[in-house]
Chains A and B, each alone.
Chain A
């Protein structure tokens, strides 16, 4: 009897946790389907929707307010920066995982310590740097610093994945006469593919969410990223249309939501190896 009560209580608690985690999204989703007046008048908001209003809110945000263009900018910046970052970080992670060389631990911890750097400490110099070489308000002006921001993260995650691949595999390839670089390219990369997916997704989410550097570097509406565009649409400084703000929130979150479903089984690995941001 007592055990059954305990079990019941545990399930109630589980439900409460689920509600606390999920309800905020549902609420935002509901608000995104209302008219401005309805949000003020219906407390709590009702669950029957006028689909014309839903369509109007979303087309307002995606087309009139330019979210589609922002998403395109973000896709270009996120895609390019993540790929460059992987190309640079993977060999470095391999070296840290496999080669014995002097000062290897010092190098590794120095590189990884950049993960803790406060973005406000470098935003201004980065802005001045990209502007002085004529890259202010351009894609490369965002991509170059973003690669630097994600490198430590990706190196860190990849070291963990390389460490899991048995050394005997590279030794066998080395005995067969492959060079180090060849071993990495032909033998280890195919094995480390799950790790590269995890690293790429965490890097991509970080860049997708980045805000401060974009705020400095971008000064035209046409070049805004999703996060920057969302921030200007829903800024805490001034009164906003809540139906539009909610729709902006949902539109911004959807790609991340899809990503997180896709990588469900890898994501814990990424986080526990010190990832996220």
Chain B
């Protein structure tokens, strides 16, 4: 009679516990994933939606309710020159900082790939800047670049270069912000590209050498194309983080002088914390969220930051 048993029931028999468990893991999934999902709904998703609601009101710190004003805050933003100034500053800062970091970080990775004796120590030390509190990084560079007694100006004058007014002029303050961001975050690009460089297949390079490829030809035709996924990954991460960054501006220049270093994050902070205008601050921040969502759907579709693609 065994032959009469329908085939479809066979795999679910007690003799194949592993397969059976793989087929019905819903309860297990809920148990393992539930706390994480619920927590994020309560403390990330809900605040994010709450923030959207606040952005449609004229809520201020002083009163507890605020009334619904629809798109009023957004309309005001569009005609707010401070908003456009901050958008421009953010674009300049993100664009310049990330491009420089990508170029320097890749160059550093290629350089450390020479594996000079003792270079592992410098490589390890390069990790420190990106772990530092941005507030402290800001203070550190304010000391280094101090116009009266800072050691950078002293060094420049020693070799006969006229130091710029690093943080005092509107022209230079944004460049200084970019410079400091580059100091702190170039190691991030470097580490990711370097890690990728260590796992590139050697035989490709050997074959190219046999074919008589020169050093530059190998670099531009083989190494860089192979590194491209890692470089793109690092660039996108850096772009998003630079776009969101707030603490460095707070610690280095407090948005000044004359709003020359006020980025979108800093503007949202000022509108909310300093001017206590929660509705307007939420709208400012939400424009950032929208920009981020648009940017990440466009960018991430191109490189799909799934775990399998991470270098």
Contact = CB atoms under 8 A, between A and B. Distances in A.
Contact of B151 (A44, A94, A149): A44
Contacts of B26: 101
A111 B50 CA distance: 18
A95 B45 CA distance: 21
B122 A253 contact: no
A59 interface: no
Contact of B192 (A22, A43, A272): A272
A21 interface: yes
A27 B151 contact: yes
A85 to B, nearest CB: 9
Interface of B is mostly: helix
B252 interface: yes
Contacts of A27: 140, 143-144, 151
Interface string A154-190: 0110011001000000010011010111001000000
Contact of B288 (A121, A208, A215, A276): A121
B39 interface: yes
Given A100-B22, A245-B143, A129 B254 contact: no
Interface in B126-161: 126-136, 138-144, 146, 148-149, 151, 154
B96 interface: no
B17 A174 contact: yes
A13, A129, A216, A272: most-surrounded residue (chain B CB, <10 A):
A272
A257 B143 contact: no
A147 B285 contact: no
Contacts, number: 280
A40 B133 contact: no
Contact of B252 (A18, A152, A236): A236
A273 B310 contact: yes
B91 to A, nearest CB: 15
B116 A276 contact: no
Nearest to B61: A124
B12 interface: no
Contacts of B129: 21
Interface of B: 17-18, 21-22, 25-26, 28-29, 31-33, 35-37, 39-40, 42-48, 50-51, 54, 108, 111, 114, 116, 118-119, 122, 124-136, 138-144, 146, 148-149, 151, 154, 183, 187-188, 191-192, 195, 233, 237, 240-241, 243-244, 246-247, 250-254, 265, 268-269, 272-273, 278, 281-282, 284-286, 288-289, 292, 296, 305-307, 310-311
Given A96-B33, A177-B17, 8 more contacts: A20-B183, A111-B37, A124-B54, A234-B139, A260-B128, A260-B131, A271-B192, A272-B191
